Chain A
């Protein structure tokens, strides 16, 4: 087995474990490369169509390319796509005081309502350890309390592929099948599997996005990498951090910790 086979098989194991334990689960699909890879792995785990919803949190501020790509792939892959939106928060967005409030209102709270409505016991998310030092500390199965909080100072033990569950009815689990993957592994896997990705990742006029989300909070990096091969080559030598273009991580010290302890992805 190659290293990519090992990562793929472990992710499929985790996805199946999540479904086997909880049944009422969903995948969060931001349409970025990681969550698109996760959706792809869910298709593999279930031999085609995942038997649960694929949730897209729509902040109303995503790149137009993201919406077009989402609708095309969802139809082609026959996904049970659900869109979580908070119309009122989208309207108020221009007056939010800072990015912490904006991310919390548009993303975390939209997700909160969808979980309450559809009564999910667990959510699959495509976070990776190498994205951020806070994410590196995560468990594969990570409990959230009824207030969505992550009790990061007292995480449950996880060993030998045995994962925790939650005891109370109003809690949920965040499940992280891609936790062990690196940015480079995702790209090599996308290349191997020929997974379609949104065009924003590929350079045009000397710039490309390395990490995507809301248009207002994403800055492109200088790059001429217009193909997957070129991106992989670029990643071999770059010293620029993947999320360097993501504004919400950087506004304050410990911003990611604050966001995540409030239930951010």
Chain B
């Protein structure tokens, strides 16, 4: 009875209808419990149509102000699989919440209002998806009911969205005219859009392939902790990529030692191997000094050890960064104090304009191209190669304040 999952994030400018779309998807897929439609019709403005967004916007403040503040998740199923749909706020001030939601997704739906077109947060969200490594998007041109389903209006905005996405590494799978409020082209087609011959949103979602398994990549096993079990040290962690097996020789970074895996441990199971995604324990006959932050990897294709990296950093937390701030970098279970040695370019994440070169500060929502100096060397990879060691977060005052991807080691 195994199910297939897909995590899909919905992004776009404020008021373009993200929460409304998800609410309506839940309804059209039959996922809503009894009484919910009445609840959101009553709690809404009092008119006859349900306020679909109220299915997602649960905070009092969100309902009063009619805007999503924090990201949320809801579930629905088609005959093909179960979707975890991640709603995100469209306001610039809630970008950290948008990123928190979007970072978990396997694919994205970009919602664009057909009347308003591509706007500031449409561009910013696309830039964030690109930085987060998202490579798949479906574009939904929303509120087609407001333009009586006119094809010309759709084509104009669809072209603008395609042009925007063509400047990124994101592949556009479909561009679909919809009305979230009326359910046009979600589960079923609409007479007003009879000229449209592509898939409905449900069909487009179902046509997306499952995410690529990480088990075919080189082994990366960052050590999370060390437990004592029956007098033996067990190194626990999650296989971030690749596979491992008892007897296989692994390289340990930063020490550079190599040793064969003595055993693979899972509670109540007999195991001799594990693959990407599994939380396991390992024992070794030697290498007793290992602890959190060490990374076990494939000796044939190891990551690089670096004390200086170049990266794209997107700042999320209030206050931003200023020259002299002390930071901590975390990459998987590796952690080291670090500093921004040079902020080469400070970039507006919506327009992608360079605001300043050799800057002394970086404001929230901005992207910086930086050179980072690390107090201790860590194992990293360039983001072009992908993988778990190519991305990191920066903490300021013990708070996750920025995300980053390694551009050069």
Contact = CB atoms under 8 A, between A and B. Distances in A.
Interface string B259-271: 0000001111000
A139 interface: yes
Given A1-B277, A3-B4, A157-B317, A137 B33 contact: no
Interface string A241-265: 1001000000001100100000000
Interface string A202-234: 000000000000000000000000000000000
A239 B132 CA distance: 36
A145 interface: no
A155 B96 CA distance: 9
A2 interface: yes
A118 interface: no
Given A44-B267, A152-B59, A160 B279 contact: no
Interface stretch (A6-14, A25-33, A58-66, A79-87): A6-14
B103 A160 contact: yes
Contacts of A17: 224
Interface in B191-248: 224-225, 227, 229, 234, 236-238
Given A43-B267, A134-B59, A137-B71, A16 B279 contact: yes
A48 B3 CA distance: 28
A6 B33 contact: no
A133 B55 contact: yes
Contacts, number: 148
Given A1-B278, A13-B224, A241 B34 contact: yes
Interface in B51-67: 55-56, 58-61
Contact of A157 (B96, B229, B236, B277): B96
Contacts of B238: 9, 13
Given A16-B237, A161-B332, 12 more contacts: A2-B2, A3-B82, A9-B238, A12-B279, A13-B224, A20-B333, A45-B279, A47-B281, A129-B74, A160-B393, A164-B398, A241-B34
Nearest to A20: B225
B177 interface: no
A130 interface: yes
Given A47-B234, A47-B267, A158-B100, A13 B279 contact: yes
Given A20-B225, A48-B267, A153 B69 contact: yes
B403 A160 contact: yes
9 contacts: A2-B3, A6-B277, A9-B278, A16-B236, A137-B59, A157-B393, A157-B403, A164-B398, A238-B33
Contacts of B1: 188
A1 B71 contact: no
A1 B59 contact: no
Contact of B292 (A20, A130, A157): A20
A159 B400 contact: yes
Interface residues of A, number: 55
A158 to B, nearest CB: 5
Interface string B276-292: 01110100000000001
B345 interface: no
A3, A157, A165 — which one has the most chain B CB atoms within 10 A of its CB? A157
What are the 6 A-B residue pairs with the smallest beta carbon separation, nearest first? A133-B58, A159-B103, A241-B33, A12-B279, A157-B96, A2-B2
Contacts of A20: 224-225, 292, 333
B384 to A, nearest CB: 17
Interface string B84-109: 10000000000011011001100000
Nearest to B332: A161
Interface in A180-206: 180, 182, 188
A264 to B, nearest CB: 15
B24 interface: no
B369 interface: no
Contacts of A9: 238, 277-279
A182 B33 CA distance: 14
A231 B313 CA distance: 48
B275 interface: yes
A75 interface: no
Given A13-B279, A241-B33, A137 B75 contact: no
Interface string A132-165: 1110110100000000000011011111111111
Given A9-B238, A129-B73, A158 B400 contact: yes
A167 B229 CA distance: 32
Contacts of A164: 398-400
Nearest to B36: A241
A198 B35 CA distance: 29
B4 A180 contact: no
B70 interface: yes
Nearest to A162: B393
Nearest to B58: A133
B397 A167 contact: yes
B400 A162 contact: yes
A69 interface: no
Most buried by A among B55, B238, B275, B316: B238
Nearest to B234: A47
Contacts of A188: 1
A136 B26 CA distance: 15
A5 B278 CA distance: 8
B121 interface: no
B124 interface: no
Interface string B19-42: 000000000000011111000000
Contact of A257 (B58, B71, B265, B266): B58
A46 B279 contact: no
Nearest to A183: B75
Contacts of B84: 180
B136 interface: no
B330 A162 contact: yes
A136 B5 contact: no
Interface string B386-405: 00100111000111110100
Nearest to A258: B60
A166 interface: yes
B349 interface: no
B5 A6 contact: yes
